[in-house]
Structure formats: structure tokens, C-alpha cells
Amino acid sequence: MIATITGACLALVLTAAALVRLRGRWAVPGTTGRALRWVAVAVTVGIAVALFPVVWSDSGGATAYLLGVPLVVVAAVVVADLTGRAAGVVTAVAASALLVWALVLGLGPGVYFALPALILGLAVPASVRPRHPEASGV
């Protein structure tokens, strides 16, 4: 119970920090995708923190990869977002990886990672910036 509350609080704090950082920039293209990416990161970290005691008591050392794979996936999203390079592609790959991980571990703790996968899936179209009209031949 304490881990669930801690995970939820951590996710809310990270989400609030991301939204405060992006405040006033909503007119800039890509801000919605960036906000969705950071919300997905916050939710993933919150879920991992909340599930850690249960997974540790059940799986022991396997906790490192059961919860580590989703954390590494969202770490790649964070790096892509901070560097600004290939954020749309990394977000699409991360959404797919999290969804596959949620389906593979569907009967266990992995099912909870379907929510951040869906949030990242929503961030993909919002992350792709339109091309310049002269570059597309229109």
C-alpha cells in the first residue's frame, strides 16, 4: 500500500514538474507530444516504484529485468526528448516496446505498463513535426 501511494505521488510530482516546465509554450509545435512523453515517463516510473515490493517478493532477482526493461525504454525517450533528435521515432519504438512488454507479461506485473504504452502511442502523432511546404513539393 505504501509503495502504491509513493509511486502515485512520484508520478504526480513528475507530471506536474513537466507541465510547469512546458507552461506557456503550448503554441509551439511539438509541445503536446513532449508533454505526453513526460507524462508517460512519470507514469512508468510511478508504476515501477509501486510494483517493486510485490515483484521483489515474488520474483527476487528477476525484478531487475521485469521492471528494468520499461525503465530503460522510457530512459531512451527522455534522452531523445532532451537532445531533440529523432523524438518521434524513439517514441514510436518505445510505445511498441512497452506494449509488447505489457502483452508478454500480461498475467503478471507487465499489464500495468500498457497505460504508458498507450500514452506514448498518443504522443507519436503529436511528436512528428510537419515538413516545410517547399521540401514536400506542395
Q: Residues 6 or more apart from 118 whose CB is under 8 A from it?
A: 95, 99
Is the CB of residue 116 less than 8 Å from the CB of residue 98?
Answer: yes
Helix, strand, coil content of the chain in percent (nearest 5): 85, 0, 15
pTM here? 0.78
Is the CB of residue 88 less than 8 Å from the CB of residue 127?
Answer: yes
Q: Render each residue's pLDDT in the chain as its tens digit; 138 residues.
A: 677 777 777 777 777 777 777 666 656 666 778 888 888 998 999 899 888 988 899 888 888 888 999 999 999 999 998 888 788 899 999 999 999 999 988 877 788 898 899 889 988 887 666 665 555 555
Task: Give the cell for residue 136.
Answer: 514536400
DSSP state of 108: T
Amino acid at 47: I
Is the CB of residue 135 less than 8 Å from the CB of residue 62?
Answer: no
H and E: helices and strands count for the chain: 6, 0
Q: Can you give the residue ranges of every domain in the chain?
A: 2-128
